[in-house]
């Protein structure tokens, strides 16, 4: 898990404890006031007023009276500040890439050819997130640099290679590549994904087409968490998959 995900997971219980500590007595007070008047309209008005006006003073009172509540409130504030800083870092990365123009090739818009591996995956992750559709990218790698890249944009759930995979073996030999990295994305924003049956079948077919170079193919899937941090999962021809790389904005 990234630092952002760890903090977000921590924040949930902190908020729940604050909500219970403040809202439970507020609701009890609102019900008591509502019943005390003997008049439905007046009681309802008092109850609504209590629900609106009591939480903030109660929060401030709990901070003064109870050290555990005060520490929890201070931790909540610290977590929120750190999450906001991480959000700014992620937004700055996305802002560093221009938007692809209508009709412009994906690989040209994000200048994929010539990038080292981590820069390539960053550019892919930004571009694929913006497309909101599956993008199929083939990167021919030599010593960690993308020397040839093809890309195609498909539908929200399906995509295929932009060129003829039967010629990949020829390109690999001609360029002296040590890897072919085949990327596509899944429209997932919870930080987890797995290969579909189609993904596994495609990987098998591509390996077959590569013949003796089949072991140089890397099949990779990009997905994101809700903060837009990306993760790259790798899978084999049996459907087994594992985390290949995780971007952590705090690193």
Q: In this structure, what CATH number is given to the domain that contains residue 196?
A: 3.40.140.10
pLDDT in tens, 40-89: 888 899 889 989 999 999 999 999 999 999 999 999 999 999 999 999 99
Average pLDDT on 168-175 reads 91
pLDDT at 61: 94
Task: Provide the pLDDT for residue 223.
Answer: 96
Residues in CB range of 86: below 8 A, 6 or more apart: 3, 4, 7, 227, 249, 250
63 and 186 co-located in one domain = no
- Same domain? For 50 and 121 the reply is no
Is residue 112 situated within a structural domain?
A: yes
Domain boundary among 75, 95, 115: 95
Q: Which residues span the domain enclosing 118?
A: 106-246
112 and 16 in a common domain: no
On the question of pLDDT at 158 being above 60, the answer is no
Q: Of the candidates 60, 95, 130, which is a domain's last residue?
A: 95
Do 112 and 210 reside in the same domain of the chain?
yes
* Statement to judge: residues 116 and 216 lie in one domain: yes
* pLDDT above 70: residue 157: no
Q: Assess whether 147 and 238 both reside in one domain.
A: yes
Burial category of 212 from C-beta neighbours within 10 Å (exposed 0-12, middle 13-18, buried 19 and up): exposed
* pLDDT of 156 strictly over 60: no
For residue 155, the SS3 value is coil
Same domain? For 47 and 76 the reply is: yes
Residue 165: what pLDDT?
A: 87
110 and 86 fall within a common domain:
no
- pTM for the model: 0.85
Q: Mark whether 90 and 205 lie in a shared domain.
A: no
At 132 the pLDDT is 86
| Number of structural domains in the chain | 2
* 100 occurs within a structural domain: no
What pLDDT, on a 0 to 100 scale, did the predictor assign at position 160?
57
Same-domain status, 133 and 235:
yes
> Do 117 and 236 reside in the same domain of the chain?
yes
199: pLDDT confidence band, cut at 50, 70 and 90? very high
Residue 32 has pLDDT above 80, yes or no: yes
Contacts within 8 Å (CB) and 24+ apart, 217-220: 217/179, 217/180, 217/182, 218/179, 218/180, 218/181, 218/182, 219/182, 219/195, 220/181, 220/182, 220/183, 220/184, 220/244
Question: Same structural domain for residues 59 and 148?
Answer: no
């Amino acid at each position: 898990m990234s630092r952002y995900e760890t903090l977000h997971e921590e924040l949930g219980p902190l908020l729940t404890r604050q909500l219970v500590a403040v809202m439970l007595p507020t609701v009890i007070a609102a019900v008591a006031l509502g019943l005390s008047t003997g008049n439905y309209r007046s009681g309802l008005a008092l109850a609504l007023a209590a629900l609106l006006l009591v939480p903030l003073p109660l929060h401030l009172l709990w901070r003064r009276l109870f050290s555990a509540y005060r520490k929890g409130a201070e931790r909540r504030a610290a977590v929120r500040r750190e999450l906001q800083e991480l959000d700014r870092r992620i937004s700055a990365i996305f802002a560093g890439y221009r938007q692809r123009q209508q009709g412009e090739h994906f690989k040209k818009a994000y200048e994929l050819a010539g990038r080292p591996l981590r820069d390539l995956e960053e550019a892919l992750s930004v571009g694929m997130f913006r497309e909101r559709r599956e993008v199929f990218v083939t990167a021919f790698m030599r010593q960690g640099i993308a020397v040839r890249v093809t890309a195609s944009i498909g539908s929200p759930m399906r995509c295929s290679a932009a060129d003829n995979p039967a010629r990949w073996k020829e390109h690999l030999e001609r360029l002296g590549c040590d890897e072919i990295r085949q990327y596509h994305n899944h429209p997932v924003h919870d930080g987890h994904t797995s290969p579909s049956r189609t993904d596994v079948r495609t990987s098998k077919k591509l390996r077959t087409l590569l013949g003796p170079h089949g072991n140089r193919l890397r099949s990779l899937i990009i997905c994101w968490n809700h903060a837009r941090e990306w993760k790259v999962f790798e899978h084999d021809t049996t459907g087994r998959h594992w985390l290949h790389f995780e971007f952590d904005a705090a690193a």
